[in-house]
Structure 1
Amino acid sequence: MAIQRLAQFYRSCLFQVIIVGLVSLCEPGIWTALNNLGAGGQASPFLNNAANALTYGLMSVGCAIAGGVSNKITPKWTLVLGAAFYTPYAAGLYCNNRYGNEWFMLLGAGLCGIGASLLWASEAAIAVGYPEKAKRGKYIAIWMGIRQFGPLIGGSISLAINVNTRSTGKVSYNTYLGLIAISALGAPIALLLSQPQKVVRSDGTKIAYMRQTSLSVETRAIWRQLKSSYLLLLVPVFLAGQFGVTYQSNYLTTYFTVRSRALASFLTAVVGFGANLITGYLLDLPRVSQRAKSRAVYIGIAMFISACWIWNAIVEVQLSHQESTAFDIGGSSFGDSAFAVYLFFRFFYEALQTYLYWLMGEVGKGVASEEYRHGDVARTTGILRSWESIGSTIAYVVGATHWSNLNQMILGLVLWFATIPPTVVALYGRWEPEVGVAEARPTPDSSSVEEQKVAVAVKA
């Protein structure tokens, strides 16, 4: 009996989301932990920004087609391949920090861009497309919440090693060793995923999946979504949603000591975890329509992010007129305010990310065939990451120059406020549900919910 329950849990949506979360912890979680150190832990942000620009430049193209790859070879194998390409990035930072090697850091960044394209499209397709609608917010929050343990672990290691470093500069090279080891676990963990046809939801239904697809089907389906008026209105928030993170990294590197940056890496994970859970809970509130929840949550997040940008602008203007600044933990009330705005910004940024992935799960909800909708979820989440990557590429290119932090802050603030009008139009407009791709063939697991429940009961 215990073995049967364990087998059922192994095939459940919850277990798949936990595995995706653990892979995310090991890969983008550790990547985030490294970048939360400010400039990847380096003394100067310019080379790290150039490496990240390369990563996101590759992702801007790769993510757009990765959803189609996921539909073709299944999310499981797409995730395994994607996870395997992350570790060279952390190793490259280590070699650059200790030996001054630059080419390996750039090679690692390029491989990471390929891997991230595959990983982000596949894990988002699982976390967004597998759960039933009533639990989607909670499962997205679990996925993104587990990912926060990557920065939490990384921040803990960094804080322990660098706690006595009260100056600015680069972190100890020993910081990277534990993070590299964690990153290497991602691909083996991804092998524990089940194929979609073997997963059963809590209501007894199986996951609909694209059993047969082709390059021409995926190309036309992706092109159809890229032309969608609804998604085009959301492009600005995809582009600018990540833009401020580069400025924040440069801000942290320029104005704070090494141990303050290590503390920021740790606390960013804590506030991010809270943001994921709170946003997921709000998006799954019962007896509130999907449309009402979508609008209310976005308006709340937009108001708070706008307030953070204004607060950050006030702080940055004052800092830009000071000749030399190196805030330490608890050093002054103004330094504490400058540190606090960074954490508030990261809290509401994570809330925005959770919301946007939940919103992508709504795409195609009116489509008659569940198989078509699930195929679109994989493509749409890939497109989301593609536009985010384009924005991040531009941001890191700007960050790799010697443009002042003040100018970078102004650009980020203007871009953020420019995203609000089109996003509001998208959320308050009335859109006809889009049709699927006619050539995609449905899975044979097309029995009704009640039939599937009976099958599950008999098997148990």
Structure 2
Amino acid sequence: MSSTLVMESQHREEKRIWYRSTLFNAFVIGAVGFLAPGLWNAMSSLGAGGAESPFLVNAANALVFGLMGIFCLLGGPIANRIGLNWTLFLGAAGYPIYAAGLYTNNRFGNVWLVLVGAVTCGVSAGLFWASEGAVALGYPEPSKRGRYMNIWLIFRTGGPLVGGAIVLALNHGANQKKKGKVGPNVYLIFIALQCIAAPIGLLLTRPEKVQRSDGSKVKVVHEKSFAAEIRAVGKALSRRDILLLLPVFWAAYFNQYTGNYTVYFFGVRARALIGFVGNFAGLLASQLISLFLDYRGISVKKRIQIGFYYVVFWHVVSWTYGWVVNEKFTKETPDLDWTSPQFTLGFFTLILWNFSQQSLQNWLYYFVSTKTGNISELSRFTGILRGQESFAQAVSFGINTHDWYGGRVPLAVNTILLVLSVPPTWIAVREHVPVESEKIYQSDEDRIQSEVLDEDDKNKIAVVKSTVG
């Protein structure tokens, strides 16, 4: 009892340092997300990285996400060995090489650097996502997790917004109404901005030094060796609750037909406009579901259950609408500019796909974050989540290297995968018991913050309650 009170007293007396706060670290992870994957998404939202034909870029992206899936799984063990800040640094370093490959392909027709960039980007992206997810979900107080996750995602979506604005500014002329490729100057700007991301990652505070506003500490329990870390990943992958979620991990980001859809049916400047405006759908989706997931009027379990029905509803809406419009456009083969009468009809397909996809990913990250209070274990879970999403994206990009008539094969595969993922996900939701507990106050001056209710924590709480009583 006395040791617990001493610990809490030390928490209160600890000098507050602004760059160790959860808000500062949210901005660090957000800035790296803005500059690295955010700008990568800006290029991707152009449709096939802004290229005239989607097939080389789709093949490169299949390589990116295949490697990303592997290094997402390894990201947790690596982060627990070298630290989250260095993992984040390495996780941003490969992105500008990928952008350089797109530039040389656009300007000179070079192919090899596109593939080299895909390798470096795939390795970096895996490390980035494993570390980013752990920071975004493990650093904040549990009661603010949705809010800080939203800050992270706003930054990451801000990258495509700014990138989309740059692309639109450089590709809005009347001579760019038709299908084709974007101008090469776009990539030079992206390369310069992405080079800044890696040094920013080093500003991240180590987990044990993070200062939460409520005085609680980030729980860090490392394995003793890298081999033990790998075994821990294998153990996490074999858990029943994780196995039940594997189908939805695959389904969440499987839809990479969007790039082909944009190239097939829209002119260059229309694609530039879509790349800019379309990101607002992701921002809105993130804001809405994050506000709900942090709402303390109902229990965490109930929020997760309601969130499940919410994302199912939006996927039914978006995929029904998407199928109808895609079939219509397949028959008509339009070349849409933003002045075309059917532009809005086609644009809303991408808006709805983006909205439903972002809602699902926010919900999944929140769901996974309530499985543990230990940031080392959380890095494994987020690595598994993003790793499986990456494997799915690799397969999806691979499927989309072929010019399927009307995109019916990738759309059908995605629809079937989404439907099959619903029953096991619901079982996982029904069986889930969130690890976080509410604060238990001893008095106005003294309190105990319970992050994970293991047996030792329960004993401490029991002692406090009996003493107060």
Task: Name the TM-score, length of structure 1 as normaliser.
Answer: 0.89
Aligned to 1:38: 47
Tell me which of 45, 65, 74 is aligned to 1:65. Answer: 74
Q: Does 1:410 align with 2:418?
A: no
1:68-99 CA-partner distances (Å, limit 9, x unpaired): 11111111110011111111011110110011
Tell me which of 309, 329, 347 is aligned to 1:299. Answer: 309
Q: Where do 1:191-206 residues align within 5 Å? A: 191-206=202-217
1:360-398 CA-partner distances (Å, limit 9, x unpaired): 11113xxxxx5xx22210100001111101111110110
Kept after mapping to 1: 8 A contact 2:257/2:411? yes
Tell me which of 416, 424, 427 is aligned to 1:425. Answer: 427
Aligned to 2:244: 233
Q: 1:56 to 1:283 in 2, by over 3 A?
A: same
1:148-185 CA-partner distances (Å, limit 9, x unpaired): 11001110011111111101111111111111111111
Amino acid at match of 2:260: N
Q: Provide the rounded CA distance (Å) in 1 between the counterparts of 2:326 and 2:247.
A: 24
Q: Does 1:266 align with 2:276?
A: yes
Kept after mapping to 1: 8 A contact 2:371/2:434? no
Q: Provide the rounded CA distance (Å) in 2 between the counterparts of 1:216 and 1:249.
A: 39
Q: Does 1:166 align with 2:177?
A: yes
Q: Provide the rounded CA distance (Å) in 2 between the counterparts of 1:344 and 1:258.
A: 21
Aligned to 2:265: 255
Aligned to 1:107: 116
SS of residue in 2 equivalent to 1:328: coil
Task: Could you tell me which runs of 5 or more consecutive residues in structure 1 were left unpaired when the two chains were aligned.
Answer: 365-369, 434-446, 451-460
Kept after mapping to 2: 8 A contact 1:306/1:417? no
SS of residue in 1 equivalent to 2:17: helix
Q: Does 1:276 align with 2:286?
A: yes
Q: Provide the rounded CA distance (Å) in 1 between the counterparts of 2:216 and 2:432.
A: 30
Aligned to 1:440: none
Q: Provide the rounded CA distance (Å) in 2 between the counterparts of 1:13 and 1:285.
A: 19
Deviates more, 1:399-408 or 1:424-433: 424-433
Aligned to 2:384: 383
Aligned to 1:320: 330
Q: Where do 1:203-218 residues align within 5 Å? A: 203-210=214-221, 213-218=224-229
Measured on the aligned residues, the alpha-carbon RMSD in Å equals 2.0
Q: Provide the rounded CA distance (Å) in 1 between the counterparts of 2:376 and 2:221.
A: 6
- In the TM superposition, structure 1's runs of 4+ consecutive aligned residues that sit over 6 Å from their partners are none
Aligned to 1:19: 28
Q: 1:128 to 1:44 in 2, by over 3 A?
A: same
TM-fit CA distance, 1:193: 1.2
Kept after mapping to 2: 8 A contact 1:56/1:392? yes
Aligned to 2:189: 178
Kept after mapping to 2: 8 A contact 1:320/1:406? no
Q: Provide the rounded CA distance (Å) in 1 between the counterparts of 2:346 and 2:82.
A: 47
Tell me which of 344, 359, 362 is aligned to 2:352. Answer: 344
TM-fit CA distance, 1:346: 0.5
Q: Provide the rounded CA distance (Å) in 2 between the counterparts of 1:330 and 1:345.
A: 22
Kept after mapping to 2: 8 A contact 1:237/1:416? yes
Amino acid at match of 2:75: A
TM-fit CA distance, 1:269: 2.1
Amino acid at match of 1:36: S
Kept after mapping to 1: 8 A contact 2:72/2:383? yes
Deviates more, 1:142-151 or 1:266-275: 266-275
TM-fit CA distance, 1:431: 5.9
TM-fit CA distance, 1:330: 3.5
Deviates more, 1:280-289 or 1:266-275: 266-275
Aligned to 1:354: 362
Task: Could you tell me which runs of 5 or more consecutive residues in structure 2 were left unpaired when the two chains were aligned.
Answer: 1-13, 436-446, 451-469
Tell me which of 189, 210, 215 is aligned to 2:200. Answer: 189
Q: Where do 1:388-403 residues align within 5 Å? A: 388-403=389-404
Q: Provide the rounded CA distance (Å) in 1 between the counterparts of 2:420 and 2:336.
A: 32
Q: Provide the rounded CA distance (Å) in 1 between the counterparts of 2:449 and 2:302.
A: 27
TM-fit CA distance, 1:59: 1.4
Kept after mapping to 1: 8 A contact 2:98/2:121? yes
TM-fit CA distance, 1:243: 1.1
Q: 1:52 to 1:6 in 2, by over 3 A?
A: farther
1:86-113 CA-partner distances (Å, limit 9, x unpaired): 1101111011001100000110011000
Identity of matched residues, %: 38
Give the number of the structure whose alpha-carbon radius of gyration is greater.
2
Kept after mapping to 1: 8 A contact 2:301/2:433? no
Q: Provide the rounded CA distance (Å) in 2 between the counterparts of 1:6 and 1:177.
A: 44
TM-fit CA distance, 1:207: 1.8
Q: Where do 1:66-81 residues align within 5 Å? A: 66-81=75-90
TM-fit CA distance, 1:430: 4.9
TM-fit CA distance, 1:261: 0.8
Tell me which of 211, 234, 249 is aligned to 1:223. Answer: 234
Q: Provide the rounded CA distance (Å) in 2 between the counterparts of 1:93 and 1:360.
A: 35
Amino acid at match of 1:304: W
Kept after mapping to 2: 8 A contact 1:17/1:127? yes
Q: Provide the rounded CA distance (Å) in 2 between the counterparts of 1:240 and 1:133.
A: 27
1:243-276 CA-partner distances (Å, limit 9, x unpaired): 11x1111101110111111111111222212221
TM-fit CA distance, 1:407: 2.3
Kept after mapping to 2: 8 A contact 1:330/1:336? no
Q: Where do 1:65-144 residues align within 5 Å? A: 65-144=74-153
Amino acid at match of 1:276: S
TM-fit CA distance, 1:406: 2.4
SS of residue in 2 equivalent to 1:321: helix
Kept after mapping to 1: 8 A contact 2:301/2:432? no
Deviates more, 1:92-101 or 1:63-72: 63-72
Amino acid at match of 1:419: S
Task: Name the TM-score, length of structure 2 as normaliser.
Answer: 0.87
